């Protein structure tokens, strides 16, 4: 066994992993498929010398493997950025063998675009926050299906009733369901029952989030800031994790998907909307916060009015407010212990 460092690339799958080991000169020492078990991986990592770094394709389950290698076995592990991994799939000769080799080589030369490996408590927060969002999405879809059923059978609610208020729900259950066709009424009753269950599940999930973050310094500090409610604070804590892991507010805004995407070529300079590589739930939460700030905060309302006076679209103005706001929030929060 040599004393020179080796570098490892792992192409991850649920049952098998492709492991490539290269030395400091880039010579492949091993590139083969093994069982996705720590008992099979550790002997490979110990066979060729001290490990300088391990690169793992970032996908579902890879973070758990990386976390175990870091916390229990003291390896240096980088998760390959999903955007880079997606480009590897465009390779006409794409195989697990070549993917693992590329990851090992990039780790060796220090060019691997890596992602942050979130600690256990942040990953647990993410599971709860994303579960809540799934319930909210399901609630929205159920409501849309009920309204679609009413519209399909030309049933109109009284103008004095606002949809989804208590009075509107009473009208739906007592009058509208009877006016629907037999199967249409049954479907609406099923959806209404599911809505009631979803309300309970969402309330229980939010209660669990509140209890979990009761002593979380970052969440409690965020909730004191104008424009940030509990849901926004939970989402920032889960998806951003630590503000000080970013070099600047500009980098944080880009991570949140609030920066314009450059589409320049030659003499043509142009933007092409917001960047696409971002967490949609985080971006949506921040855009909603931007809308609240534009309505209620004098500073941001004035900034938005200046942009609107230049005939900027309202959606673009909201994104610009969100961008500036999250960059200023970075400077407030980067010193808060997470």
Domain residue extents for the chain: 6-115, 120-212, 218-333
Cβ count within 10 A of residue 136: 15
Q: What torsion, rounded to 10 degrees, do the Cα atoms 127, 221, 114, 5 define?
A: -100
The answer, yes or no, to whether residue 146 has pLDDT greater than 70, is: yes
Residue-level pLDDT at 197: 97
For the stretch 133-141, contacts whose Cβ atoms lie closer than 8 Å and that sit 24 or more positions apart, written own/partner, are 133/281, 135/198, 135/201, 135/202, 135/205, 136/202, 138/194, 138/198, 139/195, 139/198, 139/199, 139/202
C-beta of residue 243 within 8 angstroms of C-beta of residue 333: yes
Say how many residues make up the chain.
338
| Rounded distance between C-alpha atoms, residue 143 and residue 146, angstroms | 5
Name the residue among 244, 232, 234, 235 with its Cα closest to residue 214: 234
Domain 6-115 coded CATH 3.30.450.20: no
Q: What is the rounded average pLDDT for all residues in the chain?
A: 90
Measured CA to CA, the distance from residue 122 to residue 128 in angstroms comes to 10
The angle at the Cα of 135, spanning 239 to 224, to the nearest 5 degrees, equals: 45
- Of 128-142, 191-205, 278-292, the range with the lowest mean pLDDT is 278-292
Q: In 3D, which of 116, 1, 10 has the Cα closest to residue 53?
A: 10
Percent of the chain with pLDDT over 70: 92
- For residue 86, pLDDT beyond 70: no
Which two tokens mark 69?
């290698």
Kindly tell me if the per-residue pLDDT of 199 is higher than 90: yes
Bridge pairing between strands 114-115 and 77-80 = antiparallel
Name the residue among 328, 329, 304, 305 with its Cα closest to residue 318: 304
pLDDT of residue 46 exceeding 70: yes
List CB contacts of 304: < 8 A, sequence separation 6 or more: 294, 317, 318, 320, 321
Distances (CA, A) of 138 to 70, 177, 198, 268: 37, 21, 8, 43
User: Quick one: pLDDT band at residue 278, thresholds 50, 70, 90?
Assistant: confident
Model pLDDT, residue 282: 93
- pLDDT higher than threshold 90 for residue 139: yes
Q: How far apart are CA 67 and CA 195, in angstroms?
A: 38
Long-range CB pairs of 141-145 (<8 Å, 24+ gap) are 142/191, 142/194, 142/195, 142/198, 143/195, 145/187, 145/191
- Looking at residue 85, its pLDDT comes to 64
Do residues 57 and 85 touch, judged by C-beta distance below 8 A?
A: yes
Mean pLDDT across 248-269: 81
Residue 256 has which token pair? 């949140």
């Amino acid at each position: 066994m040599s004393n020179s460092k080796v570098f490892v690339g792992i192409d991850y799958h649920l049952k098998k992993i492709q492991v490539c080991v290269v030395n400091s000169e880039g010579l492949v020492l091993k590139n083969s498929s093994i069982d996705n078990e720590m008992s099979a991986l550790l002997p490979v990592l110990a066979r060729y010398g001290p490990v300088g770094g391990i690169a793992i394709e970032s996908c579902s389950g890879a973070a758990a493997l990386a976390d175990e290698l870091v916390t229990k076995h003291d390896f240096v592990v980088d998760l390959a950025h999903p955007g880079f991994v997606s480009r590897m799939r465009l390779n006409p000769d794409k195989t697990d063998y070549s993917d693992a080799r590329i990851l090992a080589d990039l780790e060796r030369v220090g060019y691997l675009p890596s992602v942050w490996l979130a600690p256990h408590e942040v990953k647990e927060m993410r599971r709860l926050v994303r579960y809540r969002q799934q319930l909210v999405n399901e609630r929205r879809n159920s409501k849309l299906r009920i309204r679609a059923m009413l519209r399909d059978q030309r049933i109109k609610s009284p103008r004095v009733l606002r949809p989804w208020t208590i009075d509107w729900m009473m009208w739906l259950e007592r009058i509208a369901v009877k006016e629907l066709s037999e199967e249409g009424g049954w479907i609406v009753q099923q959806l209404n029952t599911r809505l009631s269950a979803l309300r309970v599940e969402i309330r229980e999930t939010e209660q669990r989030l509140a209890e979990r973050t009761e002593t979380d310094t970052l969440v409690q500090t965020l909730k004191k800031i104008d424009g940030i409610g509990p849901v926004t604070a939970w989402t920032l804590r889960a998806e951003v994790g630590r503000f000080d892991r970013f070099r600047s507010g500009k980098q944080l805004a880009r991570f949140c998907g609030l920066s314009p995407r450059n589409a320049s070529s030659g003499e043509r300079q142009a933007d092409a909307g917001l960047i696409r590589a971002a967490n949609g739930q985080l971006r949506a939460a921040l855009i909603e916060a931007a809308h609240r700030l534009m309505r209620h905060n004098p500073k941001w309302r004035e900034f938005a009015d200046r942009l609107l006076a230049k005939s900027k679209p309202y959606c673009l103005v909201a994104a610009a407010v969100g961008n500036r706001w999250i960059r200023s929030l970075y400077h407030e929060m980067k010193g808060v212990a997470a």
